[in-house]
Every structure is written in structure tokens, then in C-alpha cells.
Structure 1
Amino acid sequence: MIIRIINNASSKEFRNAVKLGDSNSKTLGFLPFIAFEKYAKLNQLIGAFEKGTNELLGYLLYRISYNKVTIVHLCISKNRRKSSTANKLVDYLKKHTRQYDGIKLSCRNDYGIDKVWEKFNFVPIIEKTGRSKRGLPLTIWWFPHYQENLLTQISEYELNNKIVAVIDMNIFLDLKEGREKESLALKSDWLLSEAILFYTREIHNEINKASTPELKKSSRKLLRYFKELPFRDEEEFSRIHQELKSEFPLKHKNDNSDLKHIAYSIAGGAKFFITRDGVILSNKKFFKQYNLIIYRPSEFITHLDENIQVSKYRPQTLIGTNISSTRIKSGNINKFIDTFLKPTERKSRFQKIVRDSLSFPDKFELIRISKEDTLLAFLIFDRSLDDKLRIPAFRFLNSNLKTTLSKHLLFKSILTSIKENRTFIEITEEFLDNDIETNIQEARFIKIGASWHKININGVLDSSEIHKELEEDFFTKQVIEKIEEIFHEFNNGQKLLKKYQFERFLSPLKLKDLEIPNFIVPIKPHWAEELFNDRSKQKLALFEPQYELLLNRENVYYRSSSPRILNAPARVLWYVSENKLTNEKGSIIASSYIDEIFIDNPKKLFKQFEKLGIYKWKHIVQTAGKKDKLMAFVFSDTELFKSSISLKNICDQFEVIENKKFMLVSPRKIKSETYLSFYKLGMGI
């Protein structure tokens, strides 16, 4: 079978397609010749042909609007309807329309071909009254193209910072119908701040099996209170689904749907799957190979605190605590060796690392992190190379601060390296827990051999100049190649995203030719003080003992939901407005990235982000005022400017580049050129 575009309206192939469509117009709906001709000219008519004879076996005709692809006709010759012809045509369409949000189609319910669309991995999302004389109902089916682009609706913040748990259909019905008490605990308000409950796209197929339109409608309405897990990779899903079917032979009609829920969960990156299915629960160990933990609802609730410690970043746990970082002296070193020695590690090896470091205090810094008298962490900074910060020890004792501490210290290590103009960071610690390795990876380190590497390019460059800027030794080449490998599947339409990821991986690099949105955001002086005033100048000041923890890698800021100017991802400059108490004029003091934007009910937003940032409920109420919607945006990788940019300087630069007067009462979009000009000025580049 050969699949190819039919774009010649005078060809025999085209005439045969029109003829086939007309002969099936009762089910397809009549399409005028001129419409066939229009779609052919737009290369939106795909034909399937018998190899050798060139006989037309079927065709697919589609249109594009609002960045969505809509299948208008999928028509197969009667003698080929049980073959793979339709599948091949749909696969061709999927492959060649990945730059769009997804593919949709409408199909009358009385045709009885739901299983066809399910087989093609489409899901039913809504039921409508059709345009036929009898007003017969039809269903809209949808296949998403998951794109990591500027318009993505998938929240990477939530996937990385919340406990991601998927519920199956039975749990969904428990919550909908108020049955099974243990499931109802999942509706508790406090759960929102700890975990995100997702459903998989398979639930649409299960809802579609309901006996009445009213039941379908009520179930779809309830879906709004949950989130749909990302559907990233159809091939990965199909592979996992086949593996599960081999392990769990289908015995009942609902078994395949149960396995699809799990396959989608694994492919979508979920960590937990909540079910009451006895077969699945009795095979918990099997799913560990997929890094998926199976729980009953009661088990999930019971173990939630334990799960939080390894899954969640909670900067607020450090706020107001007496956490300190101090240099280790030789007098008490044996205590640290015994305390932080790993069970499978040779003591003599660890002793050598520690004692060698102590021997060169001008090049090595041994740091203990403790809360009052309780030890929490131990790390070593090795500055023996001018352009590299090595970390041969990066160890944490089990505590409820372990994950938060590791993320904070990674970010502080990166900041330290940048401040000291070091291009490279290398973590050579050999005994890393799995959760610590995950945090290192999230901090955009790349693993080469047994160590983790991060490159810091301090400057503003064109993307073509990156390789020229680096002295490409073996490890540097490996790191760059690994970064490129991560994004090698991006197509031409995703060049922007690829550049954006390179900028983030090689931070504090700023690319001249990266055209993502740029904004100036006003912030009141007291919030700027809380969020950005890094009071420490000393090497060891990883924590500010009298103040709330500052400059976590991620933070959240609240503002009015209107006007809706901001979007993500984007770069942002922070403008501190005039301080009327001190008569200080406004200035730009820092730069960050906007990662995610959320607009919702203030209470829901507060619950969702109360573990991130410095805001109390009273602050949220003040910001929201009488409005029922509020904006929260997650920002990260904040860089404090070496010197703030004065209001006069801002006005002068603004008039030259933007050709406008500078006035700022709400976030303002600016040119990339303006952003880079202010960034260079603030960083002294």
C-alpha cells in the first residue's frame, strides 16, 4: 500500500476520490466538487493506493483552522474496510500535522463505529446534536499533538513539584456518586496543596459507554475538577500497553480499559496510580519496573506525608527555622565521616576525600548544614581549578527537609559558580540517592560517566556563537551533545523551543536570537525586599539565619488577572516601584524566567502554592480585592543585577529602543532588544 497526497484536480486519482466520496455521501455528507478541488490544491487530500495497480483504496480529506486539524472525510472502499487502510491514512495525517494542537472529527453515534476511533487513539470529548433532519446526536473525537511549545497547556511545574497521582474510572465514579468512604478522602481540601489528581484520556472512552446522554454529560462536567495527564508519545503508550496485555491477559470487557489507564499513566510520567482493582493491587511489585507505585485510596492518604518528602519541593519549610551553614574544622571531622558514611562505602576512601580537602583550606570548603544542633547535610566545594566548581561530597541525612535542602543547595551552588565566574560545575559524589539524582537532573545538570556536569555561559550571544565561546574539551563536547540529544526530536517548527532550552541549560547565557516574550513586571518595594534582597556577601552564607529563605530556584508571585498580558515561557525584568517612605525612585533589580501562569479562584491558588513562596492568605485577599479571579505565576532562576538600573537610565533606554515613554502600572511587553540592553547594563556585561 502506498500513501500519498492527491493535489492534481485534473488527475484520474482525484476523479476517483470524488467518485468514491459521492458514492458514500449518505454517511459522509455531501461535499461539492469545488470543495474537493480546494482541499486538493491545499495538499489536504490524502490517498491510499494499491502498490503496483495504483487502485484507489480510500482517501482522507482534512481542513485546518485555529491551529487544529479537522478530518472532513475518511472514506474507504467497501472491499478494503477490514484492512489497515484507514489506520495507515490516519497515521500519515498524525505524522504530518504534528505542528498543530491536534486532530478532531465528528461522528454520528448511530454509526456504531466508536471502537474504530478508540483504536486510532482518539477519545470522545463532547456530545452534540447533529445537523441532520432528525437531529441525531454526534460525538466530537480528539487526538492531541503534545507539543513542548509556547502554547502548551501541560503544567511542567505541577509535574515536577506536586505529587502526581492518577485515579482510575472506579475511583472517579466513587467521587462522583459519593460511594466508597476511603475514596472520598481524596476530595479533602488539604490534598490540593500536596497532590494533583489526574485522569488519563482513556476515561473519555469509559464515560462514552454510559447508558444515557445525561450520565455522559454529568461525568464530563465532573472532569473539570481534575486534570488530564499529558499524552506525550503514542508509540511509547502503545509499547507499554502491549507489554501490559502480555502480562495480564484480558478476561473481561473492561480489562483493556484498566490496562490503558495504567499505560497512559506510565507514559505520562505519573508516580502514583490509585485504584481499588484487586488484580492490579495484587501485582504492585510488577509495576515498580515502570517507576509507578500502586495504592488503594486509603494507602495513598496514609502514606502521603512519606511521599511528600521524596516528591515535593517545599521552600516554606525552611522559613523561620534556625538552619545554618558553617565550615567544618578538623577537630570534629571523625563525627562527620561516621555520620555521613554510606553503608556500602569504604571508610578509608571517604576519609581520604575529607582529609585531602581539609589539607587545602584555600581551595576546598567543607560545609555542614544543620538545624539548631541537628545535622542535615554535608558538602564540599573544590575550587582547585580556576574555571570549575567541583562538588566531591553532596550528602544528606534523612529528614523532612532533605528534598528541599538539596534543591536549594544545588541552586546556591550554581549561583556561587556564576558569581565566581566559573564556567563549569561538576558533581563527582558517587553515592547519590535516587531522589537527589532527580533533583540534580531537574537543575539541568548532564550526566557524563559517573559525574554530573553543568556549563555556565556568562554573556549575551547569538546561538551560532555558543561553540566558539567554549573551549571544547572532551567533557564539554559530551555535555553539549547530550543537551542536543535531549531535543533532537524537535522538528523545524520547534527551533524556538530548542533555543530556549539551550539558554536555560547553559544559564546565565542569554541568546540574542531567541524571540520569546519579554516583560517588565512592577513589584512593590516590600515584596522585592522579601523576594530578592540577598543580604549575604560571604562564601558560606548559603542561608540567611535571621530572614526567610531567599532566592529559591522557583518562587511564585501574585497579581491581578487583568489585563492578561503575561504568558509563559518568557523572560521578565523586575521593576521595583518608587518607595515613598525613603523617597527612592524606581529601578530594575533582577531578571527571571516565567515558567507557568495560573488564573483561578484566589483560595484555590493559595492552596496550590502555599508551599512555595512567602505569601500568607491575608496577602492574597489584599491582592485579589473583590475580584473572583487572581493570577499566580511561577518564576525561576532569578539573577540579581550587580547594579540596579535607575529610573532615569530606564527612561533613556526605553525612548531609544522602544521609541516610547516609560510608564509602568502593570506588566509591559518589551522588545527582545530592550530586555538584552537592560540585562547587559544590570550585569555589567
Structure 2
Amino acid sequence: MVRIKAINETSPYLPEVNKLGDANKATLGFFYKGAFEEKARNKQILVALSDSGEFMGYLMYRNVKSHNRISIIHLCIKNNYRGQGIAKQLLNYLKSITSQYRGIELRCRRDYGIDNMWLKLGFCAVYDKKAKTKGKLLTYWWLDYGYPNLLSLINDQKSESKLSIIIDYSIFQEIYLYNHSSKPQEEKSKDSKVLLADWLEPNIEMWVSKEILNKINQINDYQKRQSIRNIFSQLSCINYTDQQYQRFLISIKSLIQENNLLIDESYLRHIVQSLASGINIILTNNVDILKLSDQFYEEFKVILISPNDFIKRFDDIE
């Protein structure tokens, strides 16, 4: 059992926070003198404690009131407690006490190689910027609480008179990224590119999931990564709350296990995000997930379909 609590400047755990932060300063980065005490005074340090009261790790944050968001400064777990879900419990507690904000941001060096941890915690990689260390890049990670904002309201208004569909990363690639591809890739993308047909454009609103940002983040070439992010930014991105996401995550994991399917973590996140958005048409060429199309309709009232079949059945679906 792990207990999470906010500490103040008189807490007996503050020296342990200081000690752990100092031991990991190579990756946590420089922090001004007296910062730990200041954050503790504002009750912006959360500590994880074992049943016996042993210090396991901490999360330090600040409120960015001008942008209505929370920013994580440090998230650090003692070596002997890593890999036990302590970071997730600290983050969940932070979410529970900051629900009035839009979400949580953080910045992390790409070369630290811990992207997978942020993915598992629910963050999306949004953009890169130069780090203070020459030649290094910081990735900006964002965890959205899913509350309506001006952009989501504009997207909702755009799609009111159209049929909303969600595409996955494979279709996104085939439509937007194979313009200068080899012939085999052009053949592969032919079915998906029909979604760009002139007659179809006034009738559909194409949406993308936040997980596509994480797929883009895996591209090593900086210029290419930025270019594809620019393409992504021109599309409507789905919105959902954490409660909706967690509810569908349990259902989908169960469905996949029952059918003995092998779905990678990234695609699992995409499908769960899509269901949590409330949009009821999901397009994919993934043959494994398409095997569940009947069950998706029966259980979630969602149409899971390939682009080719979507076009063939468009009038009926509409």
C-alpha cells in the first residue's frame, strides 16, 4: 500500500526529497537554491510513502495560472522502488487535486530515453525545443484533462453537419506522407487516398487521435518530425476525459484478451482514445482489430471499418 501526501517546509521528509533530487540532478536538471523549501511551503511537493512510512519518491510541480495548467518540475523515484507503479500513483494523486486545470505539462530531454514512461502515464509528445545543453532537444509532453476549450468547440462546430470519422496512423501516413513514395507504397495508399475525393470532402470531417503525435515523436529526423507535426496540426484532434479513457481501456483489454489478438500498446491507446471521444466511426486497415468489428458495434455502437468498405457503404452509413 502506497500513501501519497503533500508536505510542507517543516516535514521530516523534505531532507529526503532534497537528497534524492540532488542524487539525480544529472537528469532532473539545475534547480535554484531554496526551491525545494519554497515548493514545500506552497504544498507543491507530493511524496510517496510505504505502509511503514518509508520515503519512496516525490513529485514536484507548479501552477501555471496564466495558462490554466499544471507543470511537473521533478518526478523521481528511489532506485529500489522503480518499476512498481509509484510514479503513476503520484501522478494520479496530482490529477485528483488539480482537476480545475486544463491538464499537465512537462519537458524532458529526448536523449534520456524515457519516452515510454511518459507514454504509459498518458502523456502525448507535442513538440521539441532546444535544450540549454548545446545540441540537445527537449520534448514537450502534455496530458489533457479533456475539458472543452475554444479549439474543441470550434472543431465540434465544424463537424456538426458532417459525418465524423477517426483515422489511425497508418491511414494518416498513406494519405498525407506518401506523396513522394515508391510505387509499392503508392499502391498501398490507393484505398486510403479515396478519403480525399472531391465528392467526399464536404460530407466528412476527418479526426485524428493524440496517439498519432506519439508515433510522429518516434521519427528520428528532426526536420521530418517537425514537418509531419505541421500536417497533424491542420487536422481536427479528438478530445476525451481521463474517466472516459479508463472506462474504455478496461473493456478493450478484455475484448482483445478474449479474442487472443496481439495489438501493440500504441494501437491500443489509439483505439481507446477513439472510443472515449464519442465519435462512432473508426477507420483502419489493421486486419486484427477489424476482426472485432461486429463486437465493436454490438458493445459500443461504433462502426469499425476499412477506408475501402467505408466508401462502398457510405450512403448506408450516412
Q: How far is 1:10 from its partner?
A: 2.8
Contact 1:245 1:259 in 2 (8 A): no
Q: Would you tell me which structure has more helix in proportion to its own residues?
A: 2
Q: What's the CA shift for 1:241? A: 3.6
Letter of the structure 1 residue corresponding to residue 15 of structure 2? R
Deviation at 1:256, TM superposition (A): 2.9
Match of 2:197 in 1: 188
Give 1:126's aligned residue: 127
Please tell me the residue identity of whatever aligns with 1:57.
Answer: M
- Partners of 1:219 and 1:153 in 2: how far apart? 21
Cα shift readout 1:372-414 (whole Å, capped 9, x = no counterpart): xxxxxxxxxxxxxxxxxxxxxxxxxxxxxxxxxxxxxxxxxxx
Give CA-to-partner distance per residue, 1:104-158, whole Å, 9 cap, x none.
11111111111111111111111222111x331121111001124x757344445
Deviation readout 1:474-503 (Å, 9 max, x if unpaired): xxxxxxxxxxxxxxxxxxxxxxxxxxxxxx
CA distance in 2, matches of 1:218, 1:122: 21
- How far apart are the structure 2 equivalents of 1:249 and 1:169? 23
- What SS does structure 2 have at the residue aligned with 1:12? coil
Query: C-alpha offsets along residues 79-108 of structure 1, whole Å, 9 cap, x if unaligned?
Result: 111212111101111111111111011111
Matches within 5 A, 1:422-461: none
1:73-84 to 2 correspondence within 5 Å? 73-84=74-85
Residue of structure 2 in register with 1:683 after alignment: none
1:307 corresponds in structure 2 to 317
Distance 1:248 1:173 in 2: 28
Provide the rounded CA distance (Å) in 2 between the counterparts of 1:231 and 1:72. Answer: 25
Query: Which residue in the other structure is 1:528 paired with?
Result: none
- Return the offset for 1:60: 0.4
- Number of the residue aligned with 2:306: 296
Specify the code of the residue in structure 1 equivalent to 2:250. R
Equivalent residue letter for 1:141: W
Residue 244 of structure 2 corresponds to residue 245 of structure 1: no
Alpha-carbon contact 2:125-2:214 (below 8 Å) kept = yes
Letter in 1 for 2:272: A
Q: State, as a whole percentage, how many aligned pairs show the same letter.
A: 33
Match of 2:207 in 1: 198
Q: 1:64 matched to which residue of 2? A: 63
- Aligned pair in 2 of structure 1 residues 234, 274: CA closer, same or farther (>3 Å)? closer
User: Measured at CA, do residues 191 and 16 of structure 1 come closer, stay the same or move farther in structure 2, by a change above 3 Å?
Assistant: same
5 Å matches for 1:367-386?
Answer: none
Cα-to-partner distance string for 1:245-267 (whole Å, 9 max, x where unaligned): 3245454xx63322322221111
CA distance in 2 between counterparts of 1:170 and 1:277 reads: 8
Shift of 1:167: 0.4
Q: Does the CA contact (< 8 Å) of 1:240 and 1:263 recur in 2?
A: no
Q: Does 1:212 align with 2:221?
A: yes
Offset at residue 25 of structure 1 (A)? 0.8
Q: Tell me if the contact between 1:250 and 1:256 (Cα under 8 Å) persists in the aligned partners.
A: no
Measured in 1, the distance between the counterparts of 2:213 and 2:312 equals 29
1:78 to partner: Cα distance = 1.2
Q: Does 2:108 match 1:107?
A: yes
Check 1:97–1:237 CA distance in 2 against 1; reply closer, same or farther (3 A cut): farther
The match for 1:661 is: none
Structure ID, larger Rg:
1
- Rounded Cα–Cα distance in structure 2 between residues aligned with 1:235 and 1:126: 25
CA deviation after TM superposition for structure 1 residue 230, in Å: 1.0
Give 3-state SS (helix, strand or coil) of 1:135's partner.
coil
Q: Which residue, out of 210, 218, 234, partners 2:245?
A: 234
Measured after TM superposition, the shift of residue 28 of structure 1 is 0.2
Equivalent residue, structure 2, for 1:30: 30
Query: Any conservation in 2 of the 1:244–1:259 contact (CA below 8 Å)?
Result: no
Partner of 1:146: 146
Distance 1:203 1:37, change over 3 A: same
Deviation of 1:279 (Å):
2.0
8 Å contact kept, 1:18–1:33? no
> Given that residues 168 and 275 in structure 1 are in contact (C-alpha distance below 8 angstroms), is that contact kept between their aligned partners in structure 2?
yes
Which residue of the partner structure matches residue 88 of structure 1? Answer: 89
Are the aligned partners of 1:163 and 1:307 in contact in 2 as well (CA < 8 Å)? Answer: no
Tell me the residue number matched to 1:135.
135
The unaligned stretches of length 5 or more in structure 2 are 180-185
Kindly state the Cα deviation for residue 301 of structure 1 after the two structures are TM-superposed: 2.3
Matched, 1:286 2:285: no
Match of 1:167 in 2: 167
Cα RMSD between the aligned structures? 2.0
User: In the alignment, is residue 6 of structure 1 matched against residue 16 of structure 2?
Assistant: no
* Alignment coverage as a number of residue pairs: 302
2:31 maps to 1:20: no
Preserved contact between residue 48 and residue 56 of structure 1 (Cα < 8 Å):
yes
Aligned residue in 2 for 1:264: 273
Q: Secondary structure of the residue that 2:59 maps to in structure 1?
A: strand
User: Separation in 1 of the partners of 2:119 and 2:51?
Assistant: 28
Q: TM-score, normalised by structure 2?
A: 0.88
Compute the TM-score of the two structures, normalised by the length of structure 1.
Answer: 0.42
Letter in 1 for 2:138: L
C-alpha spacing 1:81/1:182, structure 2 compared with 1 (3 Å): same
Q: Say whether the 8 Å CA contact 2:245–2:273 is kept in structure 1.
A: no
Distance 1:213 1:83 in 2: 33
Ranked by relative contact order (alpha carbons within 8 Å, sequence separation 6 or more), the top structure is 2
- Output the CA distance in 1 between the equivalents of 2:150 and 2:284: 32
